[in-house]
Each structure stands twice: as structure tokens, then as C-alpha cells.
Amino acid sequence: MSTPTREPYRPVYHFTPPANWLNDPNGMVYFQGEYHLFYQYHPGSTLWGPMHWGHAVTTDLVHWRHLPVALYPDELGAIFSGSAVIDWHNTAGFGPETMVAIYTHDIPNAQDQCLATSHDAGRTWEKYAYNPVVLNTIPLRDFRDPKVFWYASNPDVDPAAGHWVLLLVAGDVVLFYTSPDLKQWTQSGSFGAGAGAKGGVWETPELLHLAVDGGAERRWLLVVAVGDGAIAGGSGVQYFVGDFDGHVFTSDNPNDTVLWADYGADFYAPQAWNDPPDDRRIWLAWMSNWAYARETPTTAFRGAMTIPREVALTRTPAGIRLVQRPVVELAMLRSASWRLAPGNIAPPAPGEPSPEQTDRRYPEALECKVTFQCAAAITAQRCGIRFCYAEGVYLEAGIDLARGALFVDRTQVWEVPEHPTLAVVQTAPLASAGDMHHLHIFLDRSSVEVFAGGGQVVITDQIFPRSDDRAPDVTVQLFADGEGVRLVEGVIYALEPAAG
Ligand code: FRU
């Protein structure tokens, strides 16, 4: 991936298209050593328009190679979101190991599900002659975003015995279908009437079978993007934990339980790679929000993906919850590193800003790990780390000790004037009220991703530190608004461009 450095908000190590508009990740599948990333793409503009599937691959989850556009709109419509599978057992008769994309065809008043096939590892594609394969039979325009995977009824005995599962969203519920051959689909159930957050239309469902705390117990994670009314305003992603019997999902929780995958404003439509080469399930998401996605101040491109994250489940007193961790491969990008001096964090004198940890300037693409410890007798209510770009232009990530929450304050690094209400301080409840708080932060030129609580809470945000006359680097301050907070450990890594 070549990174045009003249664009001030072009990420250094996050995936972006060479130019123009990007939204959801699509067709995520691992095949013959390559992780494929297709994505909603408008090659003609930095605004959303007739959707294509852009295409890129990575062999290490870090360095990306751009490939030509994979799917173009045709007489059936534009190519909306969907997934891809490898038909290992040639169930469809397209030939062994065919890569099959299953996507939504969109025309102004209809959405149906269609197939395309590739025999050369996703480089060239042919649309199936008998599309669509799932016709919209209900009078709802919103009927889209098929996620398909192979459900092996007894994977340890015979991985080839089973059927295909397709889930899609219809309005604000998820519909399930099964098929022996990817071509003929029978509806097998639905989930979501009256359940979860309903502030907008549901989009881009995902369903994963995950181990709980790395042990033998496994539960199913159903993930649904919701177009509006999400936790940080605008669009966001909720999840459900439960069971899936090959036909329909049932939740472990009552209908009014609402669980958020990310408490920031810019995490949408996550999709995990099918057929991963190891036992990790890894996803990434579109790092934007439909409320303002069209108005962000980037120039040649608009839209980026999050870093790839490993997803898992953990048991908590409140129930089983999603955990996300940055993939370990990202450590490949580290170059220089700096240790922050441990010690008590002095509260500022009245009217004074916190002292800078050092007068060093750090590159604006960095990874940072900090651990704060709280004394038994503590007067501080907030502590954290502040990345300063210029006078009055800073980003804060920290712990709201009074509320037991992670927070990110992007109000001073926001440049989307039409949406002032979305530049609020975001908070995410931390389950454990222990005295140690670890933050793992990935900062890039126009985004921040903060992981806390062992990955149980994440805040992902776009940021737009003013681009005029600022130096492309940051200073760092540690802060606490009272006594009793100590930095136990802190390290900052410069991250290299993810050039292919
Ligand atoms: C989600 C979404 C999908 C749709 C696609 C269109 O962000 O709205 O529901 O398929 O984007 O680009």
C-alpha cells in the first residue's frame, strides 16, 4: 500500500483505498495464503454512489496490496455488502475451490441476493447466470448484506457434512436461510423482533462461534450494525450472545439487553475472515459513521478500516461478553520506542495545565500502552493521557475513576462543523473496579482506537486535528485531576507505514 503523505489525514497504517469512497468490508475470506478484503467502493468519487467491490489482499494482516476492482454494477443493480466463501466440496458445481461472493444487488426499490464466482483467487469474477438466488419476498426495501458460512454439523468427525448458512437483515430483524449448494435457499428462522437496539435499520449481520475464555465452552456471537441511535450517536454496532443450531439463533439474554461492540462513534459493519488459517477469528470494520461519513475533511480518499482485531468471548459476572484485541502482527510496524518515566502523576497547580511528561515530540502514527495505578486514598476523579497537536488541539484517553469508565475526548480534534453533537466525550463502562488500569491505544493521522478492560471495552473514533500549519507530530502529557494516581508503566512505539 503506498501512502500519499501529502494528504494530511491519510492514515499511515490503516487500510484506505488508493482514492475515493470506501465503506463496509465485504467478502472477507482467507484462501491460499491471502486474506482477502473486498469493500464497498465508489471508484468515481469521494462520495457514496453506485457501489462496486474494491479489492485488496494481505498475507500478514498488516501490509496490504491493492488489486483491481472486483465487482461492477450491472443491469441488476449496484453491488452492496456481502460475504465470500470457498466452496471446498464443490457443492454448487462451479468447480472445486471456487471462490463465491454472495452480495446484495440494489436497485431503487428492491434488494435481492446474488452470486458471483472466481477461479483465480478473486482476481476476476463472473456473475452467476441465474441471479438472484434469494429474492425479496417481503415488502421491505431493506433486505440485504448476506453473510454466508459453512455450518459443519459435526466438525470433528466430518467437516464435509453440513450445509451453508446465510443470514441477512430485513428491516430491523435478522433472517436465516440454509442451502445445500449456495443456489437454493430456504428460510430457516428469524431473530430480533423486539430485541436489542432499534434506533435505526439493522445492517451487515455477522455470526461467529467462539470459545469462552479460550476453553472448551463455545457460544455464538451475533453482531448487527444499527444505522442510527447507537451508543455514541449515529450508527454503531451491537451484539448478542447465544446459541445457533444451524438454523436459527437464540439469545442468552432478555430482549432489553443491549450490548455494544464499541463505544466510540466510528466502528461499523465489522466482518470476520471466513476459513482462517489458525483458530483465531479476526475482524475489521469501517471506521466511520453514517451520520457524517460524507462530510469528513479528507481529500483524495474518504473512508478507512480499523486495525484487524482478534475477537473472543469472556465470562463476566454480568454474563458472557465480547473481547477484542489488536492482532499481534501489528507489532511488525513498531520502529522506535520510548519508555515513559514511572511515578506519581502530579495534579496541576490551580489554573495550570498538566506538565508534559517530556518535551519530546512523537510521530502522529503510534501505539501506546500505559498502566495507571490508583492509591487507596485517592482524590483524583479522572486520569489519562493527552496527545497534543498544537495549542488547544488535543485528544484525551483515560479513566473516569468516579464512574468506573474508559473515556475518550475528541472534542478538540474535530473538524466536521455540521455535526458538533457527535464530538462529545465518549465513555464505556469498565466491568472491574480494580486499582490497575491498562490502556492500549492505536493513534493514526485521523483515528484513535482505545482498548481497555482486557479488551472488553473499545472506543474507536475518527479525529481531525486541524491540518493547517501543524507539525505532523504530537507531544504527550499524563494527567490526573487530583492526588493518588501513579504511572506504573508506559511505552510509546512509532508505527511505520503499512507499505506493501
Ligand atoms: C452499511 C450499508 C449496507 C449496504 C452498504 C451500501 O454500511 O448501508 O447495509 O449494503 O452499506 O454501501
Higher pLDDT: 127 or 348? It is: 127
- Rounded to the nearest angstrom, the distance between the alpha carbon of 22 and the centre of ligand 1 is 11
pLDDT digits (tens, 9 = 90+) for 249-276: 999 999 999 999 999 999 999 999 999 9
Summarize pLDDT for 440-463 with one digit per residue, the tens: 999 999 999 999 999 999 999 999
Distance between CA atoms of 488 and 437, rounded to whole angstroms?
10
Mutate to test the pocket of ligand 1, among 144, 266, 267, 287 (most ligand atoms within 8 A of CB): 144
Of 9-13, 218-222, 391-395, 483-487, which gets the smallest average pLDDT?
391-395
At residue 32, does pLDDT exceed 90? yes
Q: How far is the CA of 81 from the centre of ligand 1 (A)?
A: 6
Structural contact between residues 483 and 396, judged by C-beta atoms closer than 8 angstroms: no
By alpha-carbon position, which residue is closest to atom 6 of ligand 1? 80
| Statement: residue 500 has pLDDT above 60 | no
Q: What is the pLDDT of residue 431?
A: 84
Ligand 1: which residue has its CA nearest to atom 9?
Answer: 203
Q: Is 349 or 74 the better-scoring residue by pLDDT?
A: 74
**348 CB contacts (<8 Å, ≥6 apart)?**
354, 355, 479, 481
Ligand 1 atom with the smallest distance to the CA of 235 is 7
- CA distances 182 to 20, 50, 146, 357, Å, are 33, 26, 12, 58
176-220 residue pLDDT tens: 999 999 999 999 999 999 999 999 999 999 999 999 999 999 999
Can you tell me the distance from the alpha carbon of 299 to that of 363, in angstroms, rounded to the nearest whole number? 21
- Centre of ligand 1 to C-alpha 418, Å, is 22
Find out whether the beta carbon of 46 lies less than 6 Å from any atom of ligand 1.
no
Atom of ligand 1 nearest to the CA of 268: 7
DSSP string, 75-116: TTBEEEEEEEEEETT-TTSS-TTEEEEEEEEEETTEEEEEEE
What average pLDDT does this structure show over 149-154? 94
Class of domain 20-326: mainly beta
Query: Ligand 1 pocket, 23 CB below 6 A?
Result: yes
Residue 358 has pLDDT above 60, yes or no: no
Catalytic residue numbers? 24
Residue among 141, 148, 89, 98 nearest 122 (CA) = 98
> Percentage of the chain with pLDDT > 90?
85
Q: Decide: 105 in ligand 1 pocket, CB within 6 A.
A: no
Q: How far is the CA of 402 from the centre of ligand 1 (A)?
A: 38
In tens, the pLDDT along 365-385 reads: 999 999 999 999 999 999 999
Ligand 1 nearest-atom number relative to CA 24: 7
Amino acid, res. 273 = W
Per-domain residue ranges of the chain: 20-326, 329-495
pLDDT in tens, 43-75: 999 999 999 999 999 999 999 999 999 999 999
Looking at ligand 1, which atom is closest to the CA of residue 290? 7
pLDDT of residue 359: 64
Report the pLDDT value the prediction gives residue 155, as an integer from 0 to 100.
85
Is the CB of residue 87 less than 8 Å from the CB of residue 104? no
What is the amino acid identity at position 78?
Answer: A
Contacts of 425 (CB under 8 A, 6+ apart): 407, 408, 409, 411
Please check the confidence at residue 18 and state whether its pLDDT lies above 60.
yes
Peptide bond connecting 132 to the previous residue in cis, omega within 30 degrees of 0? yes
Q: What's the confidence (pLDDT) of residue 468?
A: 63
* Per-residue pLDDT, 71: 98
Per-residue pLDDT, 137: 81
pLDDT tier at 138 (50, 70, 90 boundaries)?
A: confident
Determine the pLDDT at residue 102.
98
Residue 471's pLDDT is: 67
CATH topology classification for 329-495:
Jelly Rolls (2.60.120)
How far apart CA 308 and CA 324 sit, in angstroms, is 10
Q: Is the pLDDT of residue 422 over 90?
A: no
For residue 420, the model assigns a pLDDT of: 73
Q: How confident is the model at residue 108 (pLDDT cuts 50, 70, 90)?
A: confident
Nearest atom (ligand 1) to Cα of 203: 9
Query: Which of 20, 21, 24 best tests ligand 1's pocket when mutated (most atoms within 8 Å of CB)?
Result: 24
Nearest CA to ligand 1 atom 2: 203
Whether the per-residue pLDDT at 339 is higher than 70: the answer is yes
What is the pLDDT, as a whole number, of residue 46? 97
In angstroms, what is the span from residue 130 Cα to ligand 1's centroid? 24
Mean pLDDT across the chain:
94
CA 257 to ligand 1 centroid distance, Å: 25
